[in-house]
Amino acid sequence: MAQATDSVDFASFHALTGKILRGVETVIDGKREAVELALTTVLAEGHLLIEDVPGVGKTMLAKALARSIDCTVSRIQFTPDLLPSDVTGVSVFNQGRGEFEFKRGPVFANLVIGDEINRASPKTQSALLESMEEGQVSVDGVTYPLARPFTVVATQNPVEMEGTYPLPEAQRDRFMVRISMGYPDDLAELAMLKRRELSSPLDALTPVVSLQQLSDMIAMVRGIYVSEAVEQYAVSIAQETRRDRELRLGASPRATLHLVRAAKARAALDGREFVLPDDIDALAVPVLGHRLIASARVAGAGSAFQSNSLADIIHRIVAATPVPLGAGASA
């Protein structure tokens, strides 16, 4: 394992991300795109929402990602009776010392897997989401900073499933990327069967990246160049979503920020030191899809239909937005 360095160069960045992707892919068959998006989110310091029907490997993806990185990982299984303190931690009275001491909850980890987040009550959900946004937890007037880097990978079932509390818009907005796993194709499913016959491939997974390396990689992603043209492009798309007649709620400024940050990570994963409009195009649906609300005319009864038509609307907006071609930063 490579020693911690101050910075990561492109070659080692590429090698490390390659290792992570290969490792995760031994667990999740045939979902390269979802895996890449997940890694993109981690590298962009965002939070990931995986939404799909049960049994397609949502949790498996989250776990595999956590295993590949040598960092603290905790897992919260959200249930309707889960309390906010079960997430953040609780102050208990230490009789030996005669004072309250704070027992840290599962949120104090680099990677927090929130399983079936929409099964918890809104109160508990917001406890997690607040800490996600602020990077800290306040209990009894004391503020405890969370670990850095900090990424929440939450999974949820589509809202029409029984016994769920759908996440409100304001909270969905805190997730950088929403991905949907989708069913594997027949070949991938067959390969999965064969591989699981003897043992779980998750057990064979070992960390390939140290915490320090992950921090360096995140720092490198932060340094990826975004030209004014691309920024303009992202802003134009966001503005369009606010103007579009088929949308009731457009993209927030935070969405634009997330879009550009995710695009930086995607560019780095692609081996580029600058962001292309194509990065924005590719990330528009995963980053914006869960934040927009279609107007009543478009919104159907089910969310599957709605997200499909939302994806269509985003595609349409992206297709209609001209790509500014500046004559370059330097001629």
Binding-site ranges for other proteins (CB under 8 A): 225, 227, 229-230, 272-278, 281, 312, 315-316, 318-331
Helix axes 58-68, 32-43, angle to 10 degrees: 50
CB of 262 to other proteins, least distance (A): 16
CB of 183 to other proteins, least distance (A): 22
CA–CA distance, 279 with 225 (Å, rounded to integer): 13
Nearer to other proteins, 192 or 284 (CB): 284
Nearer to other proteins, 176 or 226 (CB): 226
CA–CA distance, 229 with 226 (Å, rounded to integer): 8
Nearer to other proteins, 181 or 276 (CB): 276
Residue from 254, 260, 173 nearest 221 by CA: 260
Cβ–Cβ < 8 Å for 100, 91: yes
Nearer to other proteins, 28 or 276 (CB): 276
CB of 324 to other proteins, least distance (A): 8
Continuous H helices in 153-302: 169-172, 186-196, 201-204, 211-222, 228-243, 253-269, 277-288
Cβ–Cβ < 8 Å for 230, 275: yes
CB of 325 to other proteins, least distance (A): 5
Nearer to other proteins, 60 or 276 (CB): 276
CB of 315 to other proteins, least distance (A): 4
CA–CA distance, 17 with 30 (Å, rounded to integer): 17
Encoded tokens for 148: 């850095």
User: Residue 295 to residues 239, 241, 310: CA-CA distances in angstroms?
Assistant: 16, 12, 10
Which amino acid, 302? G
CB of 244 to other proteins, least distance (A): 11
Which amino acid, 248? R
Nearer to other proteins, 181 or 318 (CB): 318
Nearer to other proteins, 159 or 323 (CB): 323
CB of 154 to other proteins, least distance (A): 29
